[in-house]
Structure 1
Amino acid sequence: MQERQLTSLLDIYILEIIMEGIQKKSFSAKFTILIVILVILAVATIFSAIYLLVKMNNSKQQINFSIGKDTASLILTIDPAEQLKKGEDTQRRNAVTQVRDAILAYFSLNNQAPWCVGSVECNANPSGTGLNDPQMVSAIAELIKSGELKSDFPTRFSKYFSEIFVTAPQTGSTVIVCFKPASNSFLKDSNTKYIKTGETPCTLPDCYWCAR
C-alpha cells in the first residue's frame, strides 16, 4: 500500500514539473522536462528488458523440460535392454535357420544324416538335442566339412549352441530346429508357439521359436 502511494505521489510530482515547465517556457524548465522524459523512457526500457528476460527464461525452462520429457519417453520406448535381447534372438534365429537348411541339404545329397557318418547303423536321432551335445558337435563338423555350413559358423554362433535344439528322424523328412527367445519381440512372434522338440502347444514363457 505504501509503495503504491509513493508511486502515485511521484507520478503527480513529475506531472506538476512538466506542466510548470510548459507554462513558464523557460530554458531550465524545458531542460527539466527533457530530463524527466528521458528518465521515464529509461525506466520503461529497463522494465521492458527485465520483462523480456523473465519471459525468455520461462520459455527456455519450458523447452528444456519438454526436451527432457521427450528424451525420457524415447529412452523408455527404445528400451536398450530389450533391443540387446532382440539382437541376441536375431543371431539365434540366424543360426537356427542355417543349421536346418544345412541338415536338409546334407540329407538330400548324402541320403543320410550328418550325425550318422561312420556308423553302420545310425545312432539315436536327435530329439530336442542341443548343438553342444557331442552328437550334434560332430554333425556340425560334418556339415562344415561338406560345405553345407561355413567354416566360421562355430566362431559366430558357438555361444548359442546350448540354446539351440535339433529334432529330426534319420530319413530327413522333417528337421526341426528351435530356440527359446529372450526378448519380448520374439516371444510375441507368431512362430514362438512350440516346445523345444517342435510340438505344440506350449505355455509362455516356456515357448520356443522353431524353423521347421
Structure 2
Amino acid sequence: MKLTRFRFNSRAFTLVEMLIVITIIALLASLTMGAYTYAMRSSKRRTTTGTFEAIKLALERYNTEFGEFPEPAGKEQMVEIIPGKSYDTSGAACLYQALTGDGYDQIKGVSASTGSDKSSAASDGKTEGTAEIKNMMLVEVPRTIWTAKSSRYLIIDAFGRPFQYIKAASATAAAGGAGGAATTATTVNSTYDLWSYSEDEQNITSTSIQSQEDPKISVKWIKNW
C-alpha cells in the first residue's frame, strides 16, 4: 500500500507584509480613539449645557429673592485648574455661594448684617444646614458641578473648568444731574454675562467683552449672548 505524503508549504511574513498589518492596526486604533474622544467631548458639552441652563434659572431666582443679581467680591482670581492652565475663579466662586447658600464672602455687598441668614462667611462644602437650604437657589447641587481649589469652592462645567460670570456695571449719573456719565462696558448683556470655555483650551483668559470685539474667540464657548 502506497502512502501519500502531504507537504505543507509554510512561509514566514515578509517585512513589508508585517508593516502593512501594523499600519492597518494603527489606523483602526486611531479611528476608534478618535470616535471615542469625539463622543466624550460631545457628552461633556451636553452636560455643560444642562448645567448652564440650570445656573441661569437659579440666577433668576436669586434676582427675584434679593432684587439683584450677585456680584463677585473679587476679580481676576487666577487659580491653576489644569496643570499649566490657570483660570479666573472669581465668578465661579460667587456663583457657588449665591446658588448653594454655602457662605457669602465671595459675593460683593453681602454680610451677616444684610439679612443673608447664612451660618458662615466662608464656604465649607456643606449645604445641609437650615440657613443654607433656605438660601439655596439651585434645586439640586450634585457633586459633579462644583469643586474646591485653593480653599475656594467653584461651580464647574463638565470639562472640570470654572464657569465664568460677570455682573454688568451699574450706570452712573453725571454730577449735577446733567445726564448719565459714560460707563465703560464690562459685559455684553445689560444684566450679566455667563459662559463656559467648554472644550476651548486656547482662549481661557479671554472675557465676554473681548469676544464681542473678536467673535472667533468664543466659537467653542457656551454663552448667554
Q: Say whether the fold is shared (TM-score over 0.5).
A: no
> TM-score, normalised to structure 2's length?
0.43
Higher helix share: 1
> TM-score, normalised to structure 1's length?
0.45
Q: Give 1 or 2 for the bigger CA radius of gyration.
A: 1
